[in-house]
């Protein structure tokens, strides 16, 4: 740096050298500030630096920072400003891409809402925070204490500072998103672990009182619920079998439930099944009613009060409670069968329970979209397995089609499959490009699994309005696209399997579906199915079947494939799960 200064001093006149020195000093200052801003991923610290540095250097008494949150601008930090801030934020309309100096003669009607706020509250200058070509927020500063106007050099300094901070702010926001997703995954894993532990406990007893005790202990431990009741059918009458923390008389509520016999979960915040039940739930201090059902038989109802944390029951909680209730019901059914007949093998019961849990993670219904036909099926070689397929509706006439194959077999593979499903459904809630979705999913799998665990995975985003499919193949068996006019194409664009490397950029492919086109996705349990001579079914047979059966419905095509594998294997034991997913454009 010293040699560079000497070189400039020799080349330029003294006045020019002073100017160069001043500019170099500013650049050096900005470089140091940039290092300081990017040294942290804590959003609060970054925003503090973005305000304090210019406020201290230019003697500015107040400042505010606002950031975009979906379709809203929200003020995230203020300094030296005592007025009450708006709670709901401002509409995220277009903002100026250059600094704005607020002038008294400026017409407020022409300003965006957030800038009207700045002008009305005596801020002097607005600076956009731009990342690439997108404005992610802005900074408002008040007038300088010495009353002088902002010079061109000062505006340039503030603009550079705002632009430098953009990447640091985005990194901090992305980190928070990843942390939120990780917390959700951890919660899902904890819930699954709890379910398996409870299942083992439930399967180890055939006493109704012990089963209910396991259920209530799980409610207190996992959901932090201190108020609950379990109502069971006894000789055609619904009676309270277990209760805790309930001071009110439950008899009116029990009799109303007995009369209405609700079949679905009722949340008193949303219930419209019965206004009377809704009212009685509130009067009893209860928030949820969960039917205890198994094989069309109603064993009773689980009633839950508010959580100790006062947090509402979200969709994940209700899914967990529903699954937990199902496990309890299965154990209650086993107890009933034991009293009527013989004791069944406990290990078989445990595996059946695990299979029930896994089935609940697969699609419960097929998409119904005009002009399209869909179908999927899964046959595990064991009672639980690691294959996965899904249909996930998205916004704007889009549907996600996913299929995966987890390394390994049995319960460990099914747990990792559950992680994959939870992670995918969580990440798909974020509006991001498909390669980024797969990249984030790969990172989550890598961070939450052992090095010897991985997943082959294929995902396609079907736009039913444009009839296009954007896809990424992460090391999975290439799906086949059959066209009546073009024949069979393999979908290979993508990258490596999930969970192998923490950072990997995936490629995408894009195809258009014409009338009669059929997409067939499958796991290696299909092509690697063996017969008694240990010969594999092979890709050639799959292609031949697809060509001859493509005119049929997706369900019929899947059945033809399974029938062909059954005939080919000739009762040979299979060692891998068999899963297929089909989509067909019919119009």
Other Cβ atoms closer than 10 A to 538: 14
In which order are the strands placed within the sheet that holds 237-244? Answer: 237-244, 228-234, 297-305, 286-294, 266-267
Element (H, E) at 16: helix 14-38
Provide the pLDDT for residue 586. Answer: 95
At which residue do the structure tokens 């959901």 appear?
223
Q: Where are the alpha helices (DSSP H) in 204-314?
A: 208-222, 251-260, 275-283
Q: CA 486 from chain center: how many Å?
A: 37
Provide the pLDDT for residue 33. Answer: 64
* Cβ contacts of 346 within 8 Å, gap of 6 or more: 203, 204
Q: Under the phi-then-psi rule, with left for phi > 0, alpha for psi from -120 to 50, and beta for the rest, what region is 167?
A: alpha
Phi first, then psi: give them for residue 251, nearest 5 degrees.
-60, -45
3-class DSSP state for residue 117?
helix
Q: Rg (Cα) of the chain, in Å, rounded?
A: 31
Q: How far apart are CA 236 and CA 559, in angstroms?
A: 43
Are 125 and 140 a contacting pair, CB within 8 Å? yes
CB hemisphere CA count around 470 (13 angstroms): 14
What distance, in Å, lies between the first and last C-alpha atoms of the chain? 69
Q: How far apart are CA 533 and CA 507, in angstroms?
A: 39
Q: Where are the beta strands (DSSP E) in 80-182?
A: 90-91, 100-101, 123-131, 134-142
Provide the pLDDT for residue 344. Answer: 40
Give me the DSSP letters along 390-450: EEEEETTTEEEEEEEEESS-HHHHHHHHHHHHHHHHHHTTS---HHHHHHHHHHHHHHTS-
* CA distances to 43, 67, 131 from 114, in Å: 21, 11, 19
| CA quadruple 544, 548, 551, 554: dihedral sign | negative
Are 184 and 316 a contacting pair, CB within 8 Å? yes
pLDDT tens, residue order, the chain (587 aa): 444 445 444 544 545 545 554 454 455 555 556 656 666 678 888 888 888 888 888 889 999 988 888 788 888 888 888 777 776 778 877 888 889 888 877 666 678 888 888 888 888 999 888 877 688 888 999 898 988 988 888 888 888 888 878 878 878 777 777 877 776 676 667 666 666 666 666 666 667 677 777 777 777 777 778 788 888 888 788 888 778 888 778 888 888 888 887 877 777 766 554 577 777 887 788 888 888 877 777 888 888 888 887 777 777 777 777 777 777 777 766 766 766 655 445 555 555 665 666 677 788 899 999 999 999 998 876 656 678 899 999 999 999 999 999 887 767 777 788 888 889 999 998 889 999 999 999 999 898 888 778 899 999 999 999 999 999 999 999 999 999 999 999 999 999 999 999 989 999 999 999 999 999 999 999 999 999 998 999 999 999 999 999 999 999 999 999 999 999 988 888 878 899 999 999 98
For the full predicted model, state whether its pTM sits above 0.75: no
Provide the pLDDT for residue 214. Answer: 74
3-class DSSP state for residue 576?
coil
Q: How far apart are CA 277 and CA 391, in angstroms?
A: 34
Q: How far apart are CA 301 and CA 298, in angstroms?
A: 8
Helix, strand, coil distribution of the chain in percent, nearest 5? 45, 25, 30
**What are the structural domains of the chain?**
40-175 (3.30.450.40), 204-354 (3.30.450.40), 363-585 (3.60.40.10)
Nearest to 212 by CA among 301, 124, 138, 278: 301
Question: Tell me, what DSSP letter sits at residue 109?
Answer: G
Q: How far apart are CA 275 and CA 414, in angstroms?
A: 40
Are 509 and 544 a contacting pair, CB within 8 Å? no
| CA quadruple 533, 535, 536, 540: dihedral sign | negative
Other Cβ atoms closer than 10 A to 149: 11
Phi first, then psi: give them for residue 170, nearest 5 degrees.
-65, -40
Token pair recorded at residue 435: 């390669």
Other Cβ atoms closer than 10 A to 237: 10
* Cβ contacts of 18 within 8 Å, gap of 6 or more: none
Token pair recorded at residue 162: 């705002």
Phi first, then psi: give them for residue 16, nearest 5 degrees.
-65, -40
């Amino acid at each position: 740096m010293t040699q560079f200064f000497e070189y400039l001093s020799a080349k330029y006149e003294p006045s020019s050298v002073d100017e160069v020195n001043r500019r170099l000093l500013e650049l050096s200052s900005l470089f140091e500030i940039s290092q300081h801003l990017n040294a942290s991923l804590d959003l609060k610290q970054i925003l503090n630096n973005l305000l304090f540095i210019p406020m201290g250097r230019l003697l500015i008494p107040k400042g505010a920072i606002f950031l975009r949150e979906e379709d809203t601008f929200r003020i995230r930090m203020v300094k030296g400003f005592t007025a009450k801030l708006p709670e709901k934020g401002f509409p995220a309309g277009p903002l100026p891409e250059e600094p704005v100096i607020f002038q008294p003669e400026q017409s407020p009607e022409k300003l965006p809402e957030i800038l009207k706020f700045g002008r009305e509250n005596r801020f002097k200058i607005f600076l956009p925070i731009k990342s690439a070509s997108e404005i992610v927020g802005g900074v408002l500063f008040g007038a300088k204490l010495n009353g002088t106007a902002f010079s061109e050099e000062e505006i340039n300094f503030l603009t550079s500072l705002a632009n430098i901070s953009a990447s640091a702010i985005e990194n901090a926001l992305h980190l928070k998103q990843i942390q939120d997703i990780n917390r959700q995954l951890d919660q899902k894993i904890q819930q699954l672990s709890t379910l398996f532990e409870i299942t083992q406990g439930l399967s180890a007893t055939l006493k109704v009182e012990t089963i209910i005790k396991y259920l209530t202990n799980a409610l207190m431990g996992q959901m932090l619920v201190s108020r609950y009741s379990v109502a069971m059918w006894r000789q055609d009458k619904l009676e309270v079998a277990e209760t805790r923390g309930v001071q009110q008389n439950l008899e009116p509520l029990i009799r109303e439930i007995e009369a209405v016999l609700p079949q679905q979960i009722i949340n008193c915040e949303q219930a419209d099944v019965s206004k009377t039940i809704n009212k009685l739930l509130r009067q009893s201090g209860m928030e949820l009613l969960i039917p205890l059902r198994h094989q069309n038989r109603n064993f009773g109802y689980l009633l839950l009060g508010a959580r100790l944390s006062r947090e509402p029951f979200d969709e994940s909680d209700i899914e967990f409670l529903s699954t937990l209730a199902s496990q309890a019901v299965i154990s209650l059914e086993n107890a009933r069968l034991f009293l009527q007949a013989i004791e069944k093998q406990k290990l078989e019961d445990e595996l059946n329970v695990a299979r029930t849990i896994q089935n609940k993670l697969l699609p419960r219904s097929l998409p119904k979209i005009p002009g399209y036909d869909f179908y999927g099926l899964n046959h595990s070689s064991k009672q639980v397995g690691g294959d996965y397929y899904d249909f996930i509706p998205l916004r704007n006439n889009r549907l996600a089609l996913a299929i995966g194959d987890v390394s390994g077999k049995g319960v460990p593979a099914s747990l990792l499959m559950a992680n994959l499903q939870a992670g995918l459904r969580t990440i798909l809630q974020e509006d991001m490009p498909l390669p980024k979705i797969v990249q984030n999913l790969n990172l989550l799998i890598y961070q939450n699994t052992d090095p010897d665990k991985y997943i082959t995975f294929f995902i396609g985003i079907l736009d039913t309005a444009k009839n296009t499919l954007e896809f990424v193949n992460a090391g999975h068996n290439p799906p086949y696209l059959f066209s009546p006019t073009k024949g069979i194409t393999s979908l290979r664009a993508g990258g490596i399997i999930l969970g192998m490397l923490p950072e990997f950029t995936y490629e995408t492919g894009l195809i258009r579906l014409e009338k009669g086109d059929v997409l067939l996705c499958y796991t290696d349990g299909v092509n690697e199915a063996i017969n008694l001579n240990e010969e594999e079914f092979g890709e050639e047979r799959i292609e031949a079947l697809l060509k001859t059966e493509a005119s049929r419905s997706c369900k019929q095509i899947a059945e033809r494939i399974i029938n062909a594998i059954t005939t080919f294997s000739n009762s040979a034991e299979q060692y891998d799960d068999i899963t297929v997913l089909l989509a067909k454009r019919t119009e």
